[in-house]
Amino acid sequence: MSNTNPDFLADEFLLDHCVGNTPLVRLQRLASHTQATVLAKLEGNNPAGSVKDRPAYNMIMQAEKRGQIKRGDTLIEATSGNTGIALAMVAAMRGYKMILIMPGNSSQERKDAMRAYGAELIEATSMEAARDMALQMQKDGKGLVLNQFGNPDNVEAHYLTTGPEIWKQTGGKITHFVSSMGTTGTIMGVSKYLKEQNPDIQIVGLQPSEGSNIAGIRRWPQEYLPTIFEPSRVDRIMDIPQIEAEKTMRQLARTEGISAGTSSGGAVWASLRLAEEIPDAVIVCIICDRGDRYLSTGLFSVQD
């Protein structure tokens, strides 16, 4: 029996309540050479520090609601970073064991963040190998794989929260939505919601240019394309050069005071190209996480 004061039993005092409802801020300087408005949705403000808190929370809550899992069960996921940290946080919050499988080259602070939330880590040779290993462990009865790449609850998280927040925060004035693509959950869910409100809104997806390496996003080989991805929900795909993503990430921090990771730098770079192209555009881009997560890469120490 809890003896908590009844004044503090409301949902608003639960950590659950802190997932989502992130700020939307206008770029004040980087886009000032254009006539367009560029707005950044600060997903690093989520409790475990990234946009992935939304699908992690929804995938676990929906599996619970369907009776697929109960407290004390083991969950398994292949993830190179933010999803792992988010799942580890939600698993701790809801009382699950979390096993995370990831490529060995994932950054030290990401691995430490997952362990801090009590998750068990297994290293694999590549992301593809990690995904295969997770499915094999599930087959062997070691736990439930949430499979963010094929789980409709990943898309639904953004359909139910990110999309409506953006629509409301822009008063319906958004003309372009820009998002980097990893599992594609963000772009699928937001696109579905925004197109229902106004089919003219342009949905722009980002992938690393050939040979570029940007944490969290991929040019997927055809056979590993996330099954939640529906090409018809994206109007335009832009290739992001790694060097521009990194440079813009530094500019964001130095000239706007917005701390973000490389994929978010890429999203801002693409938004600025659109702003130069389309004078009256109201562009919303996703800032997936915070720069703290990338400090050990040394990328912030580079002088441009």
Ligand X SMILES: Cc1ncc(COP(=O)(O)O)c(C=O)c1O
- Residues lying near ligand X in the complex (CB under 6 A) are found at 52, 81-83, 180-186, 215-217, 261, 263, 288-289
Sheet hosting strand 24-26, strand order edge to edge: 24-26, 37-42, 282-287, 176-180, 202-208, 236-240
- The verdict on whether residue 74 carries a ligand-binding annotation is no
263 classed as catalytic: yes
- The verdict on whether residue 125 carries a ligand-binding annotation is no
- The verdict on whether residue 183 carries a ligand-binding annotation is yes
Given 41, 52, 111, 195, the catalytic residue: 52
Given 179, 263, 264, 271, the catalytic residue: 263
- The verdict on whether residue 298 carries a ligand-binding annotation is no
**Closer by beta carbon to ligand X, 176 or else 218:** 218
**Closer by beta carbon to ligand X, 36 or else 288:** 288
- At 203, list the tokens: 């949905």
Q: Say which DSSP state 71 is in.
A: T
- The verdict on whether residue 141 carries a ligand-binding annotation is no
Sheet hosting strand 144-145, strand order edge to edge: 120-124, 97-103, 74-78, 144-145
Amino acid sitting at position 17: H
Q: How far is the CB of 110 from ligand X (least distance, A)?
A: 10
**Closer by beta carbon to ligand X, 34 or else 50:** 50
52 classed as catalytic: yes
Strands 37-42 and 24-26, sheet pairing: antiparallel
C-alpha span between 97 and 138 (Å, rounded): 14
C-alpha span between 267 and 182 (Å, rounded): 13
**Closer by beta carbon to ligand X, 180 or else 191:** 180
Q: How far is the CB of 160 from ligand X (least distance, A)?
A: 14
* Long-range contacts of residues 91-94, Cβ cutoff 8 Å, at least 24 apart: 91/60, 91/117, 91/118, 91/119, 92/117, 92/118, 93/15, 93/16, 94/60, 94/61, 94/64
Q: How far is the CB of 13 from ligand X (least distance, A)?
A: 29
Which ranges in 140-200 belong to alpha helices (H)? 152-157, 163-169, 185-197
Q: How far is the CB of 260 from ligand X (least distance, A)?
A: 9
Q: Which residue is nearest to ligand X (CB)?
A: 216
Catalytic residues: 52, 263
Can you say which residues are annotated as belonging to the binding site for pyridoxal 5'-phosphate? 82, 182-186, 263
